[in-house]
Amino acid sequence: MSRVVLVTGSSRGIGAATARAFAREGDAVVVHGRDVGAIENVRADIGSKLGVAADLTDFHQIEEMRHRIEDELGPVEVVVANAGGNTTPPGDVEAMPVDEFRSIVDMNLTATFLTLKSFLPGMKERGRGSIVAISSAASRRAHVRNPVAYAAAKAGIEHVMKVVALQAGPSGVRANCIAPETIMTEGNERDIPRDFIPKMIEMHPIRRLGTPDDVARAAVFLASDEASWITGVVLDVAGGSVVV
Ligand SMILES: NC(=O)c1ccc[n+]([C@@H]2O[C@H](COP(=O)([O-])OP(=O)(O)OC[C@H]3O[C@@H](n4cnc5c(N)ncnc54)[C@H](OP(=O)(O)O)[C@@H]3O)[C@@H](O)[C@H]2O)c1
Mutate to test the pocket of ligand 1, among 183, 191, 197 (most ligand atoms within 8 A of CB): 183
Question: In this predicted structure, what is the pLDDT of residue 168?
Answer: 98
Question: In this predicted structure, what is the pLDDT of residue 1?
Answer: 63
**Binding site membership of 183 for ligand 1 (Cβ less than 6 Å):** yes
Domain ranges for the chain: 4-237
Q: What is the distance in A from the centroid of ligand 1 to the CA of 170?
A: 31
Closest C-alpha residue for ligand 1 atom 23 = 9
Mean pLDDT by 10 residues, the chain (244 residues): 94 98 98 98 98 98 98 98 94 94 98 99 98 96 87 98 98 98 97 96 97 98 98 98 88
Of 224, 185, 238, 184, the residue nearest 24 (C-alpha): 224
> What is the pTM for the complete model shown?
0.98
Helices then strands, counting H and E runs in the chain, come out as 9, 7
**Binding site membership of 147 for ligand 1 (Cβ less than 6 Å):** no
Question: In this predicted structure, what is the pLDDT of residue 146?
Answer: 83
Question: In this predicted structure, what is the pLDDT of residue 145?
Answer: 82
Residues 121-152: tens digit of each pLDDT = 999 999 999 999 999 999 988 888 889 999 99
DSSP 94: G
**Binding site membership of 134 for ligand 1 (Cβ less than 6 Å):** yes
**Binding site membership of 15 for ligand 1 (Cβ less than 6 Å):** yes
Residues 84-111: tens digit of each pLDDT = 999 998 899 999 999 999 999 999 999 9
| Non-local CB neighbours of 230 within 8 Å, separated by 6+ positions | 174, 176, 222
**Binding site membership of 14 for ligand 1 (Cβ less than 6 Å):** yes
The correct CATH number of 4-237 out of 3.30.390.10, 3.40.50.720, 3.30.930.10, 3.50.50.60 is 3.40.50.720
**Positions marked catalytic:** 150
Q: What is the distance in A from the centroid of ligand 1 to the CA of 83?
A: 4
Other CB atoms within 10 Å distance of the CB of residue 219: 29
Question: In this predicted structure, what is the pLDDT of residue 32?
Answer: 99
| Non-local CB neighbours of 133 within 8 Å, separated by 6+ positions | 80, 81, 82, 112, 157, 158, 160, 161, 175, 176, 177, 178
Q: What is the distance in A from the centroid of ligand 1 to the CA of 108?
A: 9
